Structure 1
């Protein structure tokens, strides 16, 4: 791939009037949808609603211009809010800007290094289990705000939710009643309004309605508070070496999440629009977006699947719609910071509760659980670990579980058969053992294949190994094949190998697997030639003498 493929191009945009109108309309629609989500995710991450708005604006523009998807919408997301919460609890809100810059640089380097294709290696059950776990964490994080109880930042979302519930029950009062009422009203409105008309921005309308009602009633509910009336000036975070070392691990985890989530979202967008996307350029764009967001005091950004889907359904044609979405959020920040600051935090909690229930449909859960035991176990393990332990650990162990099942399946598919010799039988054929190896000869199946061949060769004088059916051969499998050759030859049997595939020659040569063959002529590409050569090595008994062998 050329360097130019990672850079913005003129044909990223369609400036014809019809396309412009479509992009403008889609951008306004997504901006309206993104506003409450940006506020909510900033609050949920512990960095404040203002940081969510800054991220939606700055990262939204940079990722749209520099990214590899024509219709991707980027900004703060639930998964990123979840992974940032423990970072804020440990290092404080000031660390988020530096983490954003560091993570952005890591993602940028990954894009330049052409690592975009690696996201496609994530198993589907791991992705869905991770998504379900994130949805559960987002829902649990909203319990304190829904009950009007302060909550400390951190990853112990289950414990925090339980403590908030106990505190609310023991100290129930008008504040708890109001916050619960605000959450219930938002949930009902978000669920009902789209049924009246699909074009209604349900989340925004619900937030506006409950804000007006609580203002008129003078309700004692916590609110967002003061917001800046414009974007802050960019500031380079403190690059103290000790701080950078302390945040290197969290930054790497954030970068991994940003890369994976953004590429998954871009892939979803490509499937919805029947168009492609450039994975490496998407990483470059998302890396630049997180760096820019951190410089302006925002949080790391990723591609947002829900907002991207809204963008596509609203008729977006090019990345201009994502730029417009960011400008809409900026307009609200500059022109309506005061009214936005009066939004109850419980209203944002209601929005996120609905968002969490929509992150993974019940149909998807049923599909994964019905896809076999391997998929179900991988899905469940990833989801549970995401909630109970850590997002990065959950993905790592989820991949390990999926790999275990995949390797076990490969090992089971690796088989060796002793076959009858083709064609008319000749004298001495009963002393020739023809084995056909199929599937994958790798470390998970090597011992079993070795044992099967050695036991099956009992009573033979010549062994012919057919290798053309081997699809996978690793170093352990090649070594096992070498042991078969060496052991049989040591027992006095002649070994002939037929059908070594071109892609396996290097590994076989590297471990010296065929060095034990008596002569180079014992390596054949044609079965008939191999069998003809095998028959020349059969020792026939001398009349009246002892049996051969």
Structure 2
């Protein structure tokens, strides 16, 4: 696929607008491979070098220089990285490297979006509720653990996932570690408003026993006590 990008762009820039152009390009390429290879060998390498220069000029996004200072630094880094790796190795390696770096940058940004607001519970007298806002996954677990005041919290603590999602195994481990910390202080941790997929993740983990007493209308899990494995009623 990488080898066809340059040919496709040159084809379009030469005026191709319909599928017939792609079909003709494929047929000519097939004929060159099967029958006309001796004729291709007669073309001087200098001429082919000139053709390749024109391909480079036609495929390079020259407006990248103009937008580098206007876009986020992470995006500019990915553009520069992919360009350098393409020249050094090939386009396939560059695409893989760009995808990996972009994924890491996204994970880092998402980790910063996790916030917690704490207030007294409106449903459980004497309890404290932590409302999470943002995804909980491997990059945000450290921040998640630091947002709780385990020493000074009351005996019952509720973690509300209404605006959050449990994404991966690291998040499950972070929840379990938090529950153990509260349990070591003789306190109870409850999970509330887990989405159905988050509920299934916790159930599949095996270490946190979860019943199937869900609110099917809103597809959220009921109040769940990590310490006792028993749901509260009515939520």
TM-score range, shorter chain: 0.7 to 0.9
Superposed displacement of residue 343, structure 1: 4.5
- Mapped to 1, the partners of 2:16 and 2:94 lie a distance apart of 35
Of residues 205, 209, 219 in structure 2, which corresponds to 1:511? 205
Partner of 2:136: 441
CA distance in 2, matches of 1:392, 1:341: 27
Match of 1:460, SS? Answer: coil
- Aligned counterpart, 2:73: 373
Q: Deviations 1:396-436 (Å, cap 9, x if unpaired)?
A: 4333322221111111112222135459xxxx95x421101
Counterpart CA distance in 1 for 2:4 and 2:141 is 43
For residues 350 and 390 of structure 1, the distance between their equivalents in structure 2, rounded to whole angstroms, comes to 20
**1:496–1:353 distance in 2 versus 1, CA, 3 Å:** same
Structure-1 separation of matches of 2:75 and 2:234: 40
Provide closer, same or farther for how the CA distance between residues 310 and 441 of structure 1 changes in structure 2, counting only shifts above 3 A.
same
SS at match of 1:302: helix
TM-score (norm 1): 0.35
* Counterpart selection for 1:495 from 189, 205, 212: 189
Q: CA deviation at 1:347?
A: 2.5
- Shift in CA distance, 305/419, structure 1 to aligned 2, threshold 3 Å: farther
Deviation of the 1:345 alpha carbon:
2.9
Matched, 1:411 2:111: yes
Among 36, 51, 57, the residue aligned to 1:357: 57
Q: Distance in 2 between matches of 1:481 and 1:456?
A: 13
SS at match of 1:468: strand
Give the C-alpha shift of residue 465 in structure 1: 0.9
Cα offset for 1:310?
Answer: 4.2
Q: Is the 8 A contact 1:479 1:513 kept in 2?
A: no
Q: Deviations over 1:336-370 (max 9, x none)?
A: x77x7664432322222122122122213433553
C-alpha distance in 1 between matches for 2:119 and 2:130:
6
The alpha carbon displacement at 1:388 in A equals 3.2
Compute the displacement of 1:392 (Å).
4.9
Given the alignment of the two structures, is residue 347 of structure 1 paired with residue 42 of structure 2, yes or no? no
Tell me the C-alpha RMSD between the 2 structures. Answer: 3.3
Aligned match of 1:170: none
CA distance in 2, matches of 1:501, 1:328: 55
Give the match for residue 4 of structure 2. Answer: 302
Taking structure 2 as the reference length, the TM-score comes to 0.74
Map 1:270-285 → 2, pairs under 5 A = none
Aligned residue number for residue 175 of structure 2: 481
Q: Deviations over 1:186-234 (max 9, x none)?
A: xxxxxxxxxxxxxxxxxxxxxxxxxxxxxxxxxxxxxxxxxxxxxxxxx
The answer to whether the 8 A contact 2:136-2:171 is kept is yes
- Report how far residue 519 of structure 1 moved: 4.7
Write out aligned runs for 1:42-441 (5 A).
258=1, 261=2, 302=4, 304-310=7-13, 313-316=15-18, 318=19, 320-326=20-26, 330=31, 343-367=43-67, 370-389=70-89, 391-421=91-121, 431-441=126-136
Higher strand share: 2
Report the Cα offset of residue 383 of structure 1: 2.2
Structure number with higher helix proportion: 1
Whether contact under 8 Å (1:413, 1:440) holds in the other structure is yes
After superposition, the Cα gap between the structure-2 partners of 1:390 and 1:350, relative to the gap in structure 1 and judged at 3 Å, is closer
Is the 2:86–2:94 Cα contact (8 Å) retained in structure 1?
yes
Give the 3 Å change call, closer, same or farther, for CA 368–507 of structure 1 in structure 2: farther
Query: Taking CA–CA contacts closer than 8 Å with sequence separation of 6 or more, which of the two structures ends up with the larger relative contact order?
Result: 1
- Is the CA contact 1:439–1:472 (under 8 Å) kept in the aligned structure 2? no
Three-state SS of the structure 2 residue aligned to 1:362 is coil
- How far apart, CA to CA, are the structure 2 residues paired with 1:386 and 1:401? 15
